[in-house]
């Protein structure tokens, strides 16, 4: 069975040949339900009735009995995503003017509505916020424009455009890599005091949900600079500066280097990677990782040229409480030999 997405026409296409060994009498609708993802029999019957299913290049009824070597062609239109709606929520807005908003995003919040997260996202909250502002001036038509994103479980600073002009200017700055972005992270291991990690990043061949460092001719170029701020016993606090902005870049690059971000459940950060894994040390790390419940990564600093004033603006944020707690425990219990 072959499946492909026709993004231009918003369709999912399946091509399937009934195997020669198929002897059991089975209806067309029942047969399709057995191999099409998330398909109910009712939905399949409607697709057949609406002409989205062909058997040997012909339309058949749902009751048609499948025969060996029958060729089934299915074209299922994708339903449009639900429209994002404003939701009242508490947002940590650290700066705002007529052009942009700087938000200190908490861990656990998805930035943009998508499959399985159509509500409760930062965009939903910002839509409510700008609608409230527009209510003060009926002539205003404000809509939040996401310039860049943070992973769901990464906390820290985000810039959001309020006008088309600001969105275009800020997007160009990010595209041209003319933005200061500084992250802090706790990582496993004790790398050299300063370094640069380079390696193309693309979808993992083993698991398409994950990203991985790829050979030179695959993926997209990615460059990560880091400086160690503090060494602990087999762990380090690092400052990270991005030259590029690939999906999961910091987490993937440090994992590739053998220094996964502490607490990262996706890229190897939830197990004790260095040092003894016994007794009180094992118990402490278990409690820290469980309590943190995410990667210990925070977007701390954000600087850029303002889209209207053309002045350089720079914002810095405090580390969230869960990150601070990890540092406190490491300082008290993991003294460095460096």
Q: Is 151 a catalytic residue?
A: yes
C-alpha span between 104 and 109 (Å, rounded) = 11
Within 8 A by CB and 6+ apart from 141, the residues are 134
The sign of the CA dihedral 96, 99, 105, 109 is positive
Buried b (16+ CB within 10 A) or exposed e, 118-149: eeebbbbbbbbbbeeeeeeeeeeebebbbbbe
Catalytic residue among 151, 153, 264, 322: 151
CA distances from 114 to 66, 84, 130, 209 (A): 37, 10, 21, 15
DSSP 113: -
- Residues 55, 57: Cα–Cα separation, whole Å: 5
Indicate the DSSP class of residue 204. -
Catalytic residue annotation: 151
């Amino acid at each position: 069975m072959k499946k492909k997405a026709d993004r231009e026409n918003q369709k999912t296409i399946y091509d399937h040949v009934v195997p020669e060994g198929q002897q059991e009498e089975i209806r067309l609708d029942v047969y399709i339900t057995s191999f099409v993802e998330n398909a109910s029999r009712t939905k399949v019957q409607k697709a057949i009735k609406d002409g989205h299913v062909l058997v040997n290049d012909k339309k058949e009824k749902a009751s048609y009995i499948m025969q060996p070597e029958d060729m089934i062609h299915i074209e299922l239109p994708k339903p449009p995503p639900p429209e994002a709606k404003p939701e009242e929520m508490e947002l940590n807005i650290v700066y705002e003017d007529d052009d942009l908003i700087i938000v200190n995003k908490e861990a656990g919040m998805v930035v943009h509505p998508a499959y399985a997260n159509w509500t409760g996202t930062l965009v939903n909250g910002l839509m409510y916020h700008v609608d409230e502002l527009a209510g003060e001036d009926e002539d205003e038509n404000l809509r939040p424009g996401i310039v860049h994103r943070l992973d769901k479980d990464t906390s820290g600073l985000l810039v959001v455009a309020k006008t088309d002009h600001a969105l275009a200017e800020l997007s160009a700055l990010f595209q041209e890599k003319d933005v200061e972005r500084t992250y802090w992270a706790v990582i496993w291991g004790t790398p050299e005091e300063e370094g640069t990690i380079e390696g193309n990043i693309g979808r993992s061949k083993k698991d398409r949900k994950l990203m991985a460092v790829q050979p030179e001719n695959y993926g997209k170029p990615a460059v990560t600079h880091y400086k160690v701020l503090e060494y602990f016993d087999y762990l380090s606090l690092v400052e990270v500066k991005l030259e590029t902005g690939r999906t999961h870049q910091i987490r993937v690059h440090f994992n590739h280097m053998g220094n996964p971000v502490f607490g990262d459940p996706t890229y190897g950060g939830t197990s004790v990677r260095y040092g003894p894994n016994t007794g009180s040390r094992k118990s402490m790390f278990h409690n820290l990782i469980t309590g943190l419940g995410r990667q210990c990564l925070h977007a701390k600093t954000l600087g850029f040229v303002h889209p209207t004033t053309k002045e350089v603006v720079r914002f810095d944020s405090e580390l969230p409480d869960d990150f601070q707690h990890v540092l406190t425990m490491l300082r008290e219990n993991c003294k460095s030999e460096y």
